[in-house]
């Protein structure tokens, strides 16, 4: 083969390699690239179940539209603002509270407050108490609505542009966090960079590795020493932890044959085997369901294991919303998840 042919072949291989790399990155799941933290500030006047439901709706909007809703520190957050447009008490018997809410959602830079995308909507709710009327209004938010797809897509484009052009801001933020002794938060910020922003990703992965060993979270450490078997409430985003076991509820769906509950399990320290002994949940109406699945999973350190638990019952088709879901793991304790929508 002469020199000219070799050069031509090498050029074609190089072009193919670049194209494959670009297609691979473009084909990566967006939820593996960009992390958003749903957050409701103290200035938002919403409490109780309505607040929990709004956080759950925000997590669903993020997850269903291709990004990753996570509980821990990320550079970006989805935040709401709520205005009461009208509030009345009906003349019916019994009297009902009727509210109309104007809700604005924004995806912002957690550290500067810069806005990357916004959308808004008006919702209404009626119930016998003011709080339940708020909850009813929030429940009418449809995470699959087209306006949320546009909202997330706009944010996605802006965030990728930010990572490609303003990576130095991410680095300086992480360095500032390290100087404040907030190493874990700094590492979470650095490791949330999407691989599609290759130059920024490589730099931040290197910096994250240079930070060194992280201190154990104080809350986890205290729970292990004082209450190793204590039940732990899960944070919004449907992700929780028992010692080194991380558990995330990623989907709850009625399939016609039963209720499918899909979870992701990951052990962060060493390879191990875990056993799920008991599952218990309570629906919106207060009906309780229990099962003993005896699920055994072999976990490889740092690798997610996905499992789906199917619960069958004559009345399970009536369940549209789970108020409480408990998963009990042998030798570890029980994780409790609150306010979960059932997809249909």
Higher pLDDT, 258 or 145: 145
The pLDDT score that the predictor gives to residue 123 is 94
- Whether 304 has a pLDDT exceeding 70, the answer reads yes
Note the pLDDT tens digit of each residue in 70-112. 666 678 889 999 999 999 998 888 888 999 999 999 999 888 8
What is each CA distance from 112 to 132, 158, 161, in whole angstroms?
Answer: 35, 15, 16
Written as six digits, the tokens of 3 are 């020199």
Cβ proximity of 125 and 133 under 8 Å: yes
Mean confidence (pLDDT) of the chain: 79
Given the structure tokens 């939820």, which residue do they identify?
31
**Mean pLDDT value across residues 145-166:** 91
Is the distance from CB of 167 to CB of 151 less than 8 angstroms?
A: no
Is residue 155 very low, low, confident or very high in pLDDT (cuts 50, 70, 90)? very high
Dig out the tokens for 153 from the structure: 């897509």
Q: Two tokens at 313?
A: 């019952």
Q: Can you give the pLDDT at residue 324? A: 86
Strands (E), the chain: 35-38, 68-69, 76-89, 97-109, 115-127, 232-233, 239-242, 245-254, 259-267, 272-283, 288-291, 295-299, 305-311, 321-329, 333-341
Percent share of the chain, pLDDT over 90: 16
Bridge partner list, 80: 105
Tell me: pLDDT of 49 over 80: no
Fold match, 34-165 / 230-341: no
Tokens 């291989």 correspond to 13
- Report, as an integer, the average pLDDT of 288-306: 85
What phi and psi, each to the nearest 5 degrees, are found at residue 198?
-60, -45
> 34-165 adopts what CATH topology?
Double Stranded RNA Binding Domain (3.30.160)
Task: Reduce the DSSP state of residue 169 to 3 states and report it.
Answer: helix
At residue 251, the 3 state secondary structure works out as strand
pLDDT digits (tens, 9 = 90+) for 168-199: 998 998 888 888 888 888 888 887 788 778 88
Report CA-CA distances (Å) from 78 to 102, 103, 109, 113, 172.
Answer: 16, 13, 9, 11, 22
How high is the pLDDT of residue 26?
38
- Summarised one tens digit per residue, pLDDT across range 99-108 is 999 999 999 9
Phi then psi for residue 161, to 5 deg, are -60, -40
Give the per-residue pLDDT at 216: 56
Contact 101, 123 (CB under 8 A): yes
CA distance 57 to 82: 14
| pLDDT tens digits, one per residue of 264-292 | 999 988 888 899 988 888 887 778 888 88
Residue 111: the pLDDT is 82
CA dihedral 251, 253, 259, 263 (to 10 degrees): -10
Question: Is 204 within 8 Å of 170 (Cβ atoms)?
Answer: yes
Q: Bigger pLDDT: 162 or 314?
A: 162
Matching residue, tokens 């709004």: 54
Strands 35-38 and 232-233: unpaired
Helices 146-165, 48-64: inter-axial angle, 10-degree rounding: 70
Q: What is the DSSP letter of 234?
A: P
Judge whether residue 224 has pLDDT over 50: no
3-class SS at 289? Answer: strand
- Listed by start position, the domains of the chain span 34-165, 168-211, 230-341
Closest CA to 319 of 293, 340, 291: 340
The CATH topology of domain 230-341 is Immunoglobulin-like (2.60.40)
- Tell which residue, 59, 251, 35, 65, has the closest CA to residue 146: 65
């Amino acid at each position: 083969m002469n020199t000219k042919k070799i050069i031509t072949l090498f050029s074609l291989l190089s072009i193919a390699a670049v194209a494959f790399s670009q297609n691979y990155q473009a084909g990566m799941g967006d939820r593996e690239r960009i992390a958003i933290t749903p957050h409701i500030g103290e200035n938002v006047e919403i409490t109780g179940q309505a607040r929990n439901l709004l956080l759950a709706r925000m997590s669903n909007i993020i997850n269903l539209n291709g990004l990753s809703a996570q509980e821990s520190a990320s550079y970006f957050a989805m935040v709401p603002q709520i205005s009461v447009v009208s509030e009345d008490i009906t003349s019916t018997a019994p009297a009902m509270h009727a509210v109309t809410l104007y809700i604005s959602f924004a995806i912002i830079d957690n550290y500067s407050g810069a806005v990357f995308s916004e959308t808004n909507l008006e919702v209404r709710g009626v119930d016998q108490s003011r709080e339940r009327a708020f909850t009813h209004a929030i429940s009418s938010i449809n995470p699959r609505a087209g306006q949320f797809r546009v909202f997330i897509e706009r944010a996605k484009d802006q965030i990728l542009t930010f990572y490609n052009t303003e990576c130095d801001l991410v680095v300086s933020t992480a360095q500032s966090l390290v100087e404040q002794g907030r190493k874990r938060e700094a590492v979470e910020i650095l490791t949330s960079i999407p691989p599609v922003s290759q130059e920024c990703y490589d730099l931040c992965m290197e910096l994250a590795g240079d930070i060194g060993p992280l201190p154990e979270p104080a809350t986890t450490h205290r729970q292990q020493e004082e209450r190793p078997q204590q039940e732990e409430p899960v944070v919004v985003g449907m992700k929780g932890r028992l010692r080194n076991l991380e558990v995330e509820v990623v989907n709850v769906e009625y399939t016609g044959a039963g209720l499918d509950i899909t979870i992701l399990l990951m052990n962060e320290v060493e390879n191990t085997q875990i056993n799920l002994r008991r599952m218990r949940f309570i629906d919106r109406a207060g009906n309780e369901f229990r099962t003993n699945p005896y699920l055994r999973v072999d976990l490889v350190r740092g690798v997610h294991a996905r499992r789906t638990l199917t619960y069958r019952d004559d009345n399970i088709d009536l369940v549209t919303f789970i108020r409480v879901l408990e998963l009990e793991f042998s030798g570890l304790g029980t994780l409790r998840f609150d306010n979960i929508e059932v997809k249909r």
